[in-house]
Amino acid sequence: MHSPRWFVRGDIDGFFGLFIDNILQLMLIPVLCKDMCGFDDAFITGCILPGAALSILGGNLFYAWQAHRLAKRTGRNDVTALPYGINTVSLLAFIFLIMAPIYHQTKDPILAWRAGLFACFWNGVIEIIGAFVGDFARRHTPRAALLSALAGIALTFITMGFVFQIFASPAIALIPMFLIVFQYASGKRLPLGIPAGLLAIALGAGLAWLVRLHGAPATATVSTPWQFAWHWPAAHVGDLLGFLTQSHGWTFFSVIFPMGLFNLIGALQNLESAEAAGDRFETKPSLLANGIGSILASCLGSPFSTCIYIGHPGWKALGARTGYSTLNGMAITLICLTGGVTLILNWLPVEAILGILLWVGLVITAQSFQEVPKKHAPAVVLGLVPAMASWALVLIDTALRKAGASLSETASRFAPDLYLGGIIALSQGFLLTSMIFSAMMVHVVERRFNQAAVWAFIASALSMTGVIHAYELGASGVMNKFSLCAAPAFATGYSATGVMLLLLARLRPADS
């Protein structure tokens, strides 16, 4: 019987690439959670990162075993394991759109963390359900609707959000950023096959030390010195189950559901990408492992879901097979369980590797236009608008809080220069609104007015129940408003639009 090797030379190159992708997420967790969610370094190092490590390790080992089994069954030596790790987009969405708002409203970091566990858990449940019904959802949701909503987050919270941070530290961040973006865009192979991400990290670290040697201030990512210690993961099922009975998490289901759907569709697309490269993995076990990884993370204290990464053909082209996945899981686990992320952040400013995130944002945004028919481009653009409103609200709220004011105190002063009410309404449930806008536009462009009407009536129902557009402005900021008549003006408007679309479907085309 054919016995493929567990490790080959190409696994080293694949390991460095996947490891850099994974370590970037781990570096973002303490940087963003400390500032946005009030988590202290000890809580992140001792609770969140160990839970994240085991979810990453379990998934990497499964996908390595899956690839090895496929190679053994088919008698091949060129099967490459699916890349796997923490989902970048979900990480940012859960921080900016769920945990941070709860923390700013309540000033309770534990409550914000539990909300993240809740979101991560349901994300995993959606992925598991998707293992059985994912193809149905994919068939009935236009690709432009899914991609534009994802691109909205990529363009605002990823690209614009981090490009400002890069240009605030040009001495450290500018050269690594251009190296990553230009090498990834051109595909030009670097000398000795050095991964661009690894070289960017080395350059960023070197530039940071040069800045410090010349007496100029360099960004200090963390203030806690690293000390070797084992941080074993612990079960936090009680925190998760207790939160299921509270209202805080359910108010953010308009964020959780689209993100779960995005992860599901993304996993299906990545499985197709792997099949196109020659490796056909079974859909159901691949998606089940993906969802179980997210649920495991939530039960062990990590509020960040996992996913099958894009890029399988790239790792395959490097010669990576199964060993790169196993190595990545083991290295990430060792770093997390020993507090190694703090060590990395002590000598490497996060600005040095933000170019990778910038590239991710550019690719996701560009893909939303490239992977849809040309005539669907207006639908993609329309879908970007709600995300821009949400990002604008974050900027306004952040500026006011830093100035010692609040939205409730200053809302009446914005008009008529800035229609703050419209910004808030459009930002509430913006991921679902983005999908609906794009889906309606796609069907209208294709003159499928009946299908467009269905999406309009869906928007009406979501508005009436407060899932989208409805809000209350209180002392702690924007609050979700769920009721049987939460946003009647929007509900009426969408219903009227649906009726109009039904009438258009019955008109004789002028060009027939």
Grouped pLDDT means (10 residues each) for the chain, 512 residues: 77 79 84 87 92 94 94 89 86 85 86 90 90 71 78 82 85 87 82 77 83 64 68 87 70 74 74 78 90 94 88 74 92 92 79 77 81 90 92 87 80 82 89 90 94 95 90 75 86 96 83 48
d(CA 254, CA 276): 33
| Residues whose CB is less than 8 angstroms from the CB of residue 178 and which lie 6 or more positions away in sequence, other chains included | 355
pLDDT at 485: 87
pLDDT digits (tens, 9 = 90+) for 201-248: 788 888 888 887 776 655 545 556 667 788 998 999 888 887 766 666
Which single residue is written with the structure tokens 């929007």?
490
pLDDT at 69: 92
224: phi then psi, degrees, rounded to nearest 5: -85, 125
Using DSSP's 3-state secondary structure scheme, residue 471 falls into: strand
Output the six-digit token pair for 279.
Answer: 């490796």
pLDDT at 24: 79
Residue 219 · residue 209 · CB < 8 Å: no
User: CA distances (Å), 385 to each of 153, 346, 376, 480, in order?
Assistant: 11, 38, 15, 20
pLDDT at 512: 44
Residue closest to 291 by CA, chosen among 93, 134, 92: 134
Q: Which helix H or strand E contains 307, and what residues bound it?
A: strand 306-308
pLDDT at 484: 84
pLDDT at 81: 93
Using DSSP's 3-state secondary structure scheme, residue 268 falls into: helix
Q: Which helix H or strand E contains 509, and what residues bound it?
A: none
DSSP labels for 201-245?
HHHHHHHHHHHHHTT-----S--SPP----------HHHHHHHHT
Show me where the domains of the chain are located: 10-223+231-370, 374-506
pLDDT at 416: 78
User: CA distances (Å), 509 to each of 10, 69, 503, in order?
Assistant: 59, 56, 12
d(CA 320, CA 371): 27
pLDDT at 476: 65
How many other β-carbons are positioned within 10 Å of the β-carbon of residue 2?
10
pLDDT at 35: 80
Give me the torsion for CA of 64, 66, 67, 69, rounded to 10°.
120
Residue 334 · residue 228 · CB < 8 Å: no
pLDDT at 363: 77
307: phi then psi, degrees, rounded to nearest 5: -160, 165
Residue closest to 371 by CA, chosen among 63, 164, 151: 151
Residue 469 · residue 429 · CB < 8 Å: yes
**pTM, two decimal places:** 0.74
pLDDT at 43: 92
Could you tell me whether strands 306-308 and 471-474 are parallel, antiparallel, or unpaired per DSSP bridges?
Answer: unpaired
Question: If DSSP states are collapsed to H, E and C, what string results for 123-174?
Answer: HHHHHHHHHHHHHHHHHHCCHHHHHHHHHHHHHHHHHHHHHHHHHHCHHHHH
